[in-house]
Structure 1
C-alpha cells in the first residue's frame, strides 16, 4: 500500500510543475499500484495531452485501462490490432504500444470511451466554433458611437493643424450652400502623421466634438484576426457601423499596421486586408456620405501608396511636437488640481522644446512624486515647486528624438515626390538638416 503522505507530496509537486511529465507518470504508477485507477486515469490523460507520442504515457494508459477492466481482459499487441483472449481467459500483460482492446463477451462491461471523451471535452476546448447569427449580421447594432465633449478650442496651440482641419472638414460641413455650389462631398479621408505622443488621437476626438458627430476609434486589435477572412469582415463591420452612425468620424489608429505596404509583406492575409481597406474607402461596400475617415500613423512611409492617393487618404497633416502655446496649455492642464506654488510656466516651456504631450504629462507626474516622497519623508505636506519640475525635466529625455532622426533620413533621401516637403521645412527650421 502506497503511503498516503507520499501521494499527497507528489500531488503537490505535480500541481506546482504540471509540465513535468516523468513526475506525473511516477505519481500515476503509484496510484495504479495503490488501486486508485480513476485518479491515475486523470494523470494518464494529462500526460498524453502534453505528449501524445510518449511511449511511457501510452503504456501507462494501457495499465490504467487494464486495472479498470476485469481480469480476463487482454491488451493488444503492438500496432493496435484487436485480439480475442486465449483459451481459459488468462490475462496477458500489455505489450508496448498500449492500443485498446475490447474484453471478450461475458467478461464484464467494456471501458466507456464515450464517457472518457466527454470528460476530455471539459479539458480541451473545441478547435472550431460556430458564429452566432448576430455575429454574421452586418447590420447588427454594435452600440452607440462616442459623442466627444472636447472641441478644437481645447487643443492648445497647433494653429496650422486646426487650419487644415477647418478647410478639409469643418468648413464644408458648416455651410451646406457653399458645399453644394462647389460640389464638395461630405466624405473623405485625412492622414495625421508625426512622432508618437503628440496628440493625434486627441485632435481626432476634438474634431468629432467640433462637428457634433459621432466618434469611432479603431485599433489594430479591433481588425486583425488570426483566422483567414476575419480581418476583412471586421474591417467591413467597422465601416458599416460608421455609415449607420453618420455623420461620424472614423479614426483608424496605427494605420501603417492595418494598411502596410503590400510590397513589404508576403502574408496573403495582410495583403487582402489592405485590399479590403481600399474597397471601403472607395465606398464600394456602401455609401460613405457623412463618414469622415481620419487615420494616424508614426510612419507614413510604411503606408501602402494606394491608400494615400487622392480620394482615399490623399490629404496629410503633419502633427509635430507641441509648440510653445501648446506646451504651456498641456503643462497647465496636468498641474491643475495639484498643490503647486511658484511655478514659472514660461521657463518650463523654454526647457521642454521637442517634448511630446506624453513627455510633458510625465514631467508633471514625476514632479508630483518628488513632492509626495518628500512630504512622506519629513511628515510635512509641501507644494510642488519649480525645483521639482526642473528636476523632472532634467530626468526626462524627449521621446520624439528617435522619430525626428528617422524623419530626417526620409526628408533627405526619400522625398523625390515632395510629399514630405512640410517635414523637410520643419527640420530645416530646427536646424536638424
Structure 2
C-alpha cells in the first residue's frame, strides 16, 4: 500500500485512464525515484505494452530490475537495444551494473567505459570505483615466441573452450590454393604486422569457408590457428543457442569477449547458417535479434575491438546466409573449399594411414577409384579397411600390414556421401541465382563437373 498521497492520486488516474502512456510513464518514474521498486516494475511493464520499443521505458524497467538484484532480467530486457549501434548510453551503464552484479567485472568495465565515452553525463563514480578493468587496449602481437595466455575453461560461455591447436597446414593434404588464400587474408597480417600496418591493414577479419560436407573446413580452421600459434575457439550451436529469450545473444557476446581476451585467436563458427540465416526467412523476433547481435559483434564496439581476432565460419549452404554478413569488414571474404582432387585424395590417404602397419602402398590407385570422395569419406574408407585387418590380425596373433588391396576392397563397399547432392544444389544457384556475382568462383568448377 502506497503511503504517498501524490503517488496514490497518480495511480488512481492511471487506473481510470489505462491507455494514457505519458501518465503511466510518469507514475512508473515516480515510483522508481521513491523506491517502490516492485510497483515501478509493474508500471513500466504496463507502459511497455503500450510502447514496446520505447528506450526510456525499457531503461526504467531495467533499472527497477537492477535495484532489485534481478540482474539477469535486466540484461534480457536491455539486450535488443545493446545489440544495436548507437544505443542510449544510460543503457550501457545499467548493463554494466547488471554484469557486475553477475560477477562479470571484465565485460561490465568495457560496457561502462564505452557508454561514458559517448556521453560523460551518465558517469557513475560509485560504479566506476568498483570497476577495475580498463577499456580493451589496441592489439599488439607478442614480442617473442612465448605462447599467449589462455583463459581457463571456466571463463568460457555455455561450454565453449579455448584450446591450443596442434595441427598446421602441413597436416592438411592438398588445397594449396585455399591455404594460400587464408595465409594472405588472415595469417600474414599478424605474422608481419609492420608491413601490413604500413598499408593500413589490421590484424583480424572474417572469412567464410563454404563447400560440400566433409571437405575439411573445420580441419582447415584448426590448422590456421596452429600455423599461427594462436588460441582456437571452436563454437558449436549448443554453445550459443538457448531456449530463453536473450540468452543466446548473451552467449554469443561472451564468446566474442572470450576470443578478445585470448588474442591472437581464431574464433571458428561451424554450421554458421544456423546463426546467420536470412532475417527475411525468420518468423520469430528473437531469432532475428540473434542475427543482429552477430553482426554487431563482428563490427565491434570500436574499430580495434576485434584486432587480432580471426573469425572463421563454415557452412554447406552459403546462399542461406543473410546478405548483411557479406558486407566489407564482416564475412566479405568467401573461400570455396572444394572436394579433393585425385592428388589431394592420395595425400589424405597417406596422412590417414601414416601411423598404421603398411605394406608397399599405391595410394594413387585408390585415389583414382574414389572420385567425389571428401576427407570424411576417405576416413570412413580407411576405418573400414582397418576393421577388416584387425580381425585378420587377431586371428593370426600378430599385426598384419595393410595393403593397397585392402583399401580398394573397402572402396568397393562405400560410396561418397553428399557431394553429388551438394553439386546439384550449388549448380542451381550458380546458374540461376547469381545476379550479384557472389558465386562466380564456383562457375568453372561446376561446369567442369557437369
What TM-score do the two structures reach when normalised by structure 2?
A: 0.63
| Counterpart contact for 1:157–1:324, Cα < 8 Å | no
> Could you give the per-residue CA deviations for residues 92-132 of structure 1, whole angstroms, max 9, x where no partner exists?
xxxxxxxxxxxxxxxxxxxxxxxxxxxxxxxxxxxx99899
**Relative to structure 1, is the Cα distance of residues 135 and 391 closer, same or farther in structure 2, using a 3 angstrom cutoff?**
farther
**Are positions 1:267 and 2:234 aligned together?**
no
Measured in 1, the distance between the counterparts of 2:165 and 2:289 equals: 33
| Counterpart contact for 2:427–2:446, Cα < 8 Å | yes
Point out where structure 1 has 5 or more consecutive residues left out of the alignment: 1-127
Q: Secondary structure at the match of 2:444?
A: helix
Measured in 2, the distance between the counterparts of 1:282 and 1:364 equals: 43
Q: Secondary structure at the match of 2:162?
A: coil
Q: Secondary structure at the match of 2:106?
A: coil
Within the candidate set 104, 107, 124, 1:137 is matched to: 104
**Relative to structure 1, is the Cα distance of residues 138 and 208 closer, same or farther in structure 2, using a 3 angstrom cutoff?**
farther
Which residue of 1 is the match for residue 327 of structure 2? 309
Which residue of 1 is the match for residue 357 of structure 2? 339
Which residue of 2 is the match for residue 405 of structure 1? 424
Which residue of 1 is the match for residue 260 of structure 2? 243
Q: Secondary structure at the match of 1:146?
A: strand
Measured in 2, the distance between the counterparts of 1:381 and 1:135 equals: 57
Q: Secondary structure at the match of 2:292?
A: helix
Measured in 1, the distance between the counterparts of 2:170 and 2:352 equals: 17
> Could you give the per-residue CA deviations for residues 298-335 of structure 1, whole angstroms, max 9, x where no partner exists?
10011111111111001010001123332122211222
Q: Secondary structure at the match of 2:310?
A: strand
**Relative to structure 1, is the Cα distance of residues 405 and 364 closer, same or farther in structure 2, using a 3 angstrom cutoff?**
same
| Counterpart contact for 1:235–1:277, Cα < 8 Å | yes
Which residue of 1 is the match for residue 177 of structure 2? 160
Which residue of 2 is the match for residue 322 of structure 1? 340
**Are positions 1:191 and 2:158 aligned together?**
no
Measured in 2, the distance between the counterparts of 1:309 and 1:213 equals: 26
Q: CA offset at residue 375 of structure 1?
A: 4.7
Which residue of 2 is the match for residue 124 of structure 1? none
Matches within 5 A, 1:98-247: 137=104, 139=106, 142=155, 145-247=162-264
Q: CA offset at residue 138 of structure 1?
A: 6.5
| Counterpart contact for 2:71–2:102, Cα < 8 Å | no
| Counterpart contact for 1:139–1:240, Cα < 8 Å | no
Point out where structure 2 has 5 or more consecutive residues left out of the alignment: 1-69, 74-98, 108-150
Q: CA RMSD in A?
A: 2.4
| Counterpart contact for 1:192–1:318, Cα < 8 Å | yes
**Are positions 1:423 and 2:442 aligned together?**
yes
> Could you give the per-residue CA deviations for residues 72-105 of structure 1, whole angstroms, max 9, x where no partner exists?
xxxxxxxxxxxxxxxxxxxxxxxxxxxxxxxxxx
Q: CA offset at residue 406 of structure 1?
A: 1.2
| Counterpart contact for 2:271–2:316, Cα < 8 Å | yes
Q: CA offset at residue 151 of structure 1?
A: 1.4
Which residue of 2 is the match for residue 358 of structure 1? 376
Measured in 2, the distance between the counterparts of 1:366 and 1:173 equals: 41
| Counterpart contact for 1:213–1:248, Cα < 8 Å | yes
Q: Which of the two has greater helix per residue?
A: 2
Count of residues paired in the alignment: 304
